Homo-oligomer: A and B are copies of this chain.
């Protein structure tokens, strides 16, 4: 079955906001196994919305529109659907408007309900434009509806990886990519991460899971060292926080070029207060020396952007704080300051788990913000790897030198 997505809103056309719904829905459609060929952005114009729907109806079985379903004068999507279908608009008990005969979808996050209008052999789905409302409504109501349209059950499991490129991954799992069509295996590249969607189609949920299980197992065998979760709603920072909690470890961060981004991402995990109490930013050389005790001689001999300073930062903070895990970051984010030895994009990331320190050197591309974001993701991943190593060694009673 084919679905087409129409985002309604002049603010999208004028570039006031980026349409993040487009990426969310695109991923969801592919998970459900729907084919989607076009995403359309159209302004708050009744005639043009009708024209877009008419065109979509020629190309797709299901038309999903977002935006323009609220009560204000420039909300014209319901009017346009009434124009297109010839179905009357009615006022609901709570004062909201809908198309006569539509299935109403409860809005748990906002006020305007969503709607599904079934007309001839087409399904028209109307959702709010506000991303949190759309997401909640789609996941709570629309997924089930779309699943029922297909005879079969479709289930997707997401395997999330970090530290590997798309082309490397494709090479490593080539056998899986060519061999299987059900479950299908789709690779999605995210900023700093790669997600593999394993989608099975079968008569029931149990059969889907039976089909998916060996693929996940195979993926773990082929690229297990890069997988940080096989759960859909676990982020990289959540995976690290879970790991810290499970092993009764606390963490703190000492950041230079990332300037608080690593700590900030960890703190975006709800309930993180169990494992993180403080974070530090030492941006200048002076601060690295005075507040942290990084040696003046190390700074002058190796410069602040060096493995040596990164290591001293991770050592020093272990003494100052009582945290079990310390993550240190120092780098050259640019745009100025790069040299032949230390070009812009060079970042050193260290992780100290109870005295065992690992320092890696990275070279990131892009502007200042891109370098800092890439460094943040790698820092969180390095923590994950170092904690895993520590846990496996202590569990088996082994000690590396």
Contact = CB atoms under 8 A, between A and B. Distances in A.
Interface of A: 11-20, 22-30, 36-43, 45, 48, 52, 55, 132, 186, 188-190, 253, 255, 257-264, 266-268, 270-273, 276-284, 286-287, 291, 334-336, 366-370, 372
A49 to B, nearest CB: 11
Contacts of A26: 12-16
Given A14-B186, A266-B259, A281 B283 contact: no
A278 B283 contact: yes
Given A43-B37, A45-B37, A186-B14, A281 B259 contact: no
A267 B257 contact: yes
A259 B264 contact: yes
Nearest to A269: B368
Contact of A276 (B255, B264, B279, B283): B283
B41 A39 contact: yes
Main secondary structure of the interface of A (DSSP, over half): mixed
Nearest to A259: B267
A255 B368 CA distance: 23
10 contacts: A14-B26, A18-B20, A55-B55, A261-B261, A261-B264, A264-B264, A277-B284, A278-B281, A278-B291, A279-B280
Contacts of A186: 14
Contacts of A16: 23, 26-27, 188-190
Identical copies in the complex: 2
Contact of A132 (B52, B291, B366): B366
A38 B10 CA distance: 10
A242 to B, nearest CB: 16
Contacts of A40: 38-41
Contacts of A262: 260
Contact of A277 (B263, B282, B334): B282
A278 B370 CA distance: 22
A37 B291 CA distance: 56
Nearest to A48: B37
Nearest to A130: B366
A27 B42 contact: no
Contact of A280 (B22, B39, B281, B370): B281
Contacts of A258: 264, 267
B283 A280 contact: no
Given A15-B188, A132-B370, A270-B336, 5 more contacts: A132-B367, A267-B372, A272-B283, A276-B284, A278-B284
Contact of A12 (B13, B22, B190, B278): B22
A38 B19 CA distance: 13
A272 B368 CA distance: 12
Contacts of A267: 257-260, 281, 283, 372
